Amino acid sequence: MKALTYHGSNKVQVDNVPDPTLRELDDILLRVTATAICGSDLHLYRGKVPSVQSGDILGHEFMGIVEDVGSGVTDLKRGDRVVIPFVIACGSCFHCRLAEFSACETTNTGDGGALNAKDMRPPAALFGFSHMYGGIPGGQAEYVRVPKANVGPIVVPDALSDDQVLFLSDILPTGYQAAVDGGVTEGSTVAIFGAGPVGLMAAACCRMLGAEKIFMVDQHPYRLAFAQQAYGVVPINFDDDEDPAELIVAQTNRRGVDVSIDAVGFEAKGSTTETILTTLKLEASSGKALRQCIAATRRGGTVSVPGVYVGFIHGFLFGDAFDKGLSFKMGQTHVQKHMPTLLDAIGEGRLDPGAIITHRMKLVDAAEGYRVFDEKEEDCRKVVLTP
Ligand code: NAD
Ligand code: ZN
Ligand code: ZN
């Protein structure tokens, strides 16, 4: 089959690789009908994530048709049309019973990303996400072996198109969990840093949950303009206003917002020092977006972080967070927990995640898709690939 594989920093290509086969009793084989490129793929693509090996199949946002099922699969049959969560979870361990699926302690043969993990069990395995998370072949492929198929893959109604439901796999639950973790409710004020796909899904979900005012910060006018038109955000371009948090505090009665959402992560732009330090590996993550979140949030408010972070940050301003009594929520999304709620919301027309798609390409052209999404060319917001 054909699959998008990693061959070093900024080098991916579509290769012919062996077809996957069923291995465990609760595996399914999926024929992929649609798969997206995620902002997390860009961290891997840029060579910023350790333990990605040459030849690894990337991709963790995908859906398709069940081609074959193991004898232990109870809820799915051949021909079912399903969306696959990017998190692989057993459904029965300590964390899965708490609906903390991305902390599943039984699926990952890797060590996870924590630097000071002691002998703690690793978090869940993820599709196409480096050997720290299990080295599981990903979804930017014609076929995928899906482990733990009794826990997660969700059957979707034929009335909904692939475009409408594909993002249930990752960015939609990620945006939703960011909003729910932040405690967003009727009347909330929110600041979202990052107008990429995750920030846009967070904006859509904040709107659905009744947020009153949403500020959105980025440097790409076309992304901000879309968010303004689609979700009614107040756009702030940090190329024009270099201290967006100051602007946000000024516009919220000198209090700050109830919730800030960091949908940027460790490659945040805007601090030359940190860009140099991270390139030299003297700093693991840039703290630019996180510091802005801390500064923009009101006393007693919450900073919710779906953006991915790695290792250490020196300029974290933990003292400011303490002074303001902030709460922090973060982590990989517990996708399985949110999928049914969000499928209902799509079915009822309360969410239209497919509206952010700008690029539809064939899987064979995936390398070009990575380049365009990474370079933000052609006003690219989201790339969907079809085998
Ligand atoms: P993306 O790269 O398309 O979007 C990131 C956006 O942040 C870009 O538009 C960029 O211009 C903007 N940005 C950069 N520096 C900024 C700054 N200092 N302030 C404000 N905006 C800034 O990616 P995406 O798909 O939207 O993903 C965003 C983050 O979410 C990534 O770190 C990704 O790995 C992460 N993610 C996490 C989960 C999870 O489970 N927690 C799931 C999906 C994605
Ligand atoms: Zn992702
Ligand atoms: Zn588990």
Please write the tens of the pLDDT for every residue from 209-240: 999 999 999 999 999 999 999 999 999 999 99
pLDDT for the residue numbered 118: 95
The pTM score is 0.98
pLDDT for the residue numbered 246: 98
261 dihedral zone (left: phi>0; alpha: psi -120 to 50; beta): beta
- Among the listed residues 60, 120, 8, the one whose alpha carbon sits nearest the alpha carbon of residue 332: 60
User: Is the minimum distance from the CB of 259 to ligand 1 under 6 angstroms?
Assistant: no
C-alpha to C-alpha distance for 217 and 234, rounded to whole angstroms: 9
Which residue minimizes the CA distance to atom 4 of ligand 1? 196
- Among the listed residues 213, 291, 216, 290, the one whose alpha carbon sits nearest the alpha carbon of residue 258: 213
Which residue minimizes the CA distance to atom 25 of ligand 1? 39
Burial of residue 319, with CB atoms counted within 10 A of its CB: 0-12 exposed, 13-18 middle, 19 or more buried: exposed
Fold of 171-330: Rossmann fold (3.40.50)
Tokens of 265: 């992560």
Tokens of 117: 């993990």
pLDDT for the residue numbered 171: 98
Helix, strand, coil percent content, the chain, rounded in steps of 5: 30, 25, 45
% of residues, the chain, pLDDT over 90: 95
Cα of 321 vs centre of ligand 1, distance in Å, is 22
Class of domain 2-169+333-386: alpha beta
pLDDT for the residue numbered 187: 98
C-alpha to C-alpha distance for 193 and 191, rounded to whole angstroms: 6
pLDDT for the residue numbered 14: 98
The DSSP output letter for 335 is: H
pLDDT for the residue numbered 327: 98
Q: Would you state the torsion angle of the CA atoms of residues 282, 286, 292, 295, taken in this order, to the nearest 10 degrees?
A: -30
pLDDT for the residue numbered 296: 98
What is the atom index within ligand 1 of the atom nearest the CA of 305? 41
Which residue has tokens 């249930």?
A: 168
pLDDT for the residue numbered 270: 87
Domain boundaries, the chain: 2-169+333-386, 171-330
C-alpha to C-alpha distance for 118 and 124, rounded to whole angstroms: 17
- Among the listed residues 360, 355, 367, 302, the one whose alpha carbon sits nearest the alpha carbon of residue 45: 367
Q: Tell me which of 198, 201, 248, 292 to substitute to probe ligand 1's pocket, judged by most ligand atoms within 8 Å of the beta carbon.
A: 198
Cα of 175 vs centre of ligand 2, distance in Å, is 11
pLDDT for the residue numbered 144: 98
Identify the segments of the chain with pLDDT beneath 70.
none
